[in-house]
Structure formats: structure tokens, C-alpha cells
Amino acid sequence: MSDYPQLLSELPSDWSILFIEEIGEVISGGTPSRSNPRYWGGEIPWVTPGEVTGLGRKCLEKTDEKITTEGLVRSGAKLLPPNSLLITTRASLGAAALNAAPATTNQGFKSIAFTKDFSADYYYHWSTKLKDELVRLASGTTFLEISGSQFRKICVPAPPHAEQLKIACILDTLDTQIQKTEALIAKLEKVKEGLLHDLLTRGIDENGQLRPSPEQAPELYKDSPLGLIPREWGVGSLGDLSEIVSGVTLGGKSGSSSWPLVPYLRVANVQDGYFDLSEVKLIRVSSVDIEKYRLLPGDVLMNEGGDFDKLGRGSLWQGQIGLCIHQNHVFRVRANPSILNPHFLTAFSSSAMGKSYFIRSSKQSTNLASINSTQLKDFQIPLPAKAEQELIVTELRIMASKMESEKSLLDKLITQKTGLMNDLLTGHVRVTPLLDQAETPTPA
């Protein structure tokens, strides 16, 4: 049940509560006939719910389709002034955006063109509070929908206009920081991919620098089963460089009830570069099997198969659970530490080159793929000297640390925004002191 009425009852006494129809004109959308080409390909942006649902930011600046003036006149669509609040009210409920330019929508929206005393930016942020109420009011058999009459009579808070603007400004500032941090993380992801490729194909020379590329210095490279690699490097099969063990088989004899219950890792636990330990199941196994399948820090776990994105993905076990084993659909790779750094192995297996090998070598069916131990043993690994492997791993750790730092900042900003939205939008924390400060003249 929606707690929206309770939310409104707790607003400050100097805030008004109004129907949506009192803060602006509610405008529905429409779709021109697809059979008439004169209605499409014009200059008027035409918005669909999917474009708003997946937008991830406040302003909608462009649309996939545009309609003509004739299409606008001949349909139920109406032109929205800039900075109207577009809210999805059909099937997908409560996604919202502001249009940067005059636009129209299909019938999946109820949009608000605000009068001058009401801030579109404030109500854009308030729309996050509106979702539960829209779901409560919606009805329909094929899909949920809210009628125009219902939408117009939904109550919303109406703080003093100056307070609306200040609240929106604070939340917009946080949104900008969040978007910049997300953009930086996306950029670092691309840099990481490029760095990983360079480190795994060019390595680090005696001066601690990336070697020149093969195009720049072909004499530094040689042919190998993996393509051109630095002359100092070798290539080895994973089976010769490590011990590969398939895990315990599930669904067999239950064994003795006196055997201990032991945590075991499934395919779902082994993600690409990390472990999801939110749900770790238990199995009864003998002491012999415990020793046979027990995981040790430094073991690399690789999935036998499943969806293509799960195939062969490797994660480095670092003893997150004191006593843990693995099931038979997860291979345990225990590298010979004198030859192969397990961190280096994890990086290579998760690289484009590693994933390409697993896909090429796998047995494939619709949306599924699998590899066996023979194919895993044949996996070719580049072999820099152990010291160079450690230098490569260090560079990757530095990059990973940068990314983790930005992701941590992003989580902090999102948490901060969530708290501020709850406080500011409902008036639990007032911005009035900030307004008073802004209005107080600075002494000469």
C-alpha cells in the first residue's frame, strides 16, 4: 500500500497541497497514423516511454522519431512547451523527464506544462515520490494505466516558489556530480580495457615502461600461437602451468549424516572478476573430499559454462570463507607460483583474448556454451618473467584502485542524494536559512 497520503500529511504547515491540475495544464499524447508518411519525419520531437524510462538524467534533448505539423494536427498529440514534465502513466509508470525543446508524446504519458509559480525542476524530483501512488491508482488488464481525470486529482506539495527553486538547485547539483562521476567511471572502464590489452601484449620493459608497439619496434617481438609477443616472453598451456580440478558432484549419494556441512561455490557465485557470496549453499562431504576440493588463497576459479557471459570467467579466491569447496561446474586452477602469477592468470583469462579462446573452443547451443577440462588445459597463456608479471599486476591494481575509489564516491553521492531528497522534498529539512542568507545584503 502506498504511503503517499502519509507523506503529504507530514509536510510543513506553510506548504500548500494542491491537485496536479492546479500547478499546470495536464496534456496527453497521441500517435499519428503510421500508414500516412506525411505525418512522420518532420521537425517535432515525438517521445515514447522507453526513451524516458532508460534516460538516467533530467533533460530529454532528442528523440528517435519526429512528426510533422500535419501529423500533430491529425492526431491526439499536443505540443508541449519546453520544460514540461513528461510522466509515463501507461504500462511503465512514473518515469519522468523534462523536454529541452517543444515536443509531443505518445499516449503513454500525462505531461504537465507548469504555470509560472511552480518549478518544473522541483516537481521532476518530486516525481520519484509519485511512483507508488501511480501504481496504487492504476488499473487495467492488458497493462496498468492512469486516466487523465485520475492524474489531475493527485495531490502534490506546493512549497513557496523560492523554496522550490532552492531545493531543485541543491538536488540538481548532486545530480550533476553523480553524472560526472558515472561518466568518469565509464571512461576509466575504456582506459582499463586498453591498458589490459597493452599490458598483456606489450608488457613492461626494464625501465618500467610499456614496450613500444610492434608497429613502432617490430624487432622487439616474435610470432607465437597468441600472435606477436615480446621476444623475452614464452607461451605455455594452462595444464602445464597449473593443477586443474573439477569440483564435487551434486545430486549423488547423500553420504553420511555425520559428515560436516561445508560451503561450496556454484557458477552463480563466480562472477567476472569477483565473487557474489550473498547466497552460499552448503553440502555434506567427507573429510577426503574436503581436502580434495578445498579452496586455498590464490586459486583461480573458472566456470565450465552456462550463458556466454559466464563461460570461463575467472575470479581469484583470496580466502573469503575459511573453509569452502567448489562444485563440478566450477574448475579450480591452482597455478605453479614459481612460473605463473595467479593475478596475471585472472587478468588474461578475463581479457578479450582469453574470452575469445573460451568462446571458440566451447561446445555451443542456443544461448549456452561449455568447456571441458581438456580445453581448459589447452588454454595458451603468455609467460613474461615472474618479475614482469608482478609489474603488470601492480599496474592493473593501480587502475582497479582508481575505479574502486570513483565507484565508492558514486555510492556516497547516491546515498547523499537519497537522504537529501527525502528531507528536502518533504520539508523535513528546510532550506529557508539558505534563502534568508541569500537575501541578506553583504555589509559594505
Question: What domains, with CATH codes, occur in the chain?
Answer: 4-158 (3.90.220.20), 160-221+386-444 (1.10.287.1120), 234-383 (3.90.220.20)
Confidence of residue 440 (pLDDT cuts 50, 70, 90): very low
- Residue 140 is predicted with a pLDDT of 86
412 has a pLDDT exceeding 90: yes
pLDDT for residue 254 is more than 80: no
Q: How far apart are the first and last CA of the chain?
A: 56
Beta strands in 285-418 (DSSP E): 300-303, 305-307, 314-316, 325-326, 330-335, 363-365, 368-370, 380-383
Q: What is the mean pLDDT of residues 250-262?
A: 76
pLDDT digits (tens, 9 = 90+) for 262-313: 999 998 898 888 899 999 999 999 999 999 999 999 999 998 876 666 666 6
CA atoms in the 13 A half-sphere facing the CB of 28: 16
Percent of the chain beyond pLDDT 70?
93
pLDDT tens per residue across span 221-240: 999 999 999 999 999 999 99
Q: What is the DSSP letter of 213?
A: P
**In the predicted structure, residue 390 carries a pLDDT above the cut 80:** yes
Spatial distance between the Cα atoms of 120 and 140, rounded to a whole number of angstroms: 29
pLDDT at 308: 61
Q: What is the pTM of this model?
A: 0.80
Mean pLDDT for 417-434 is 89
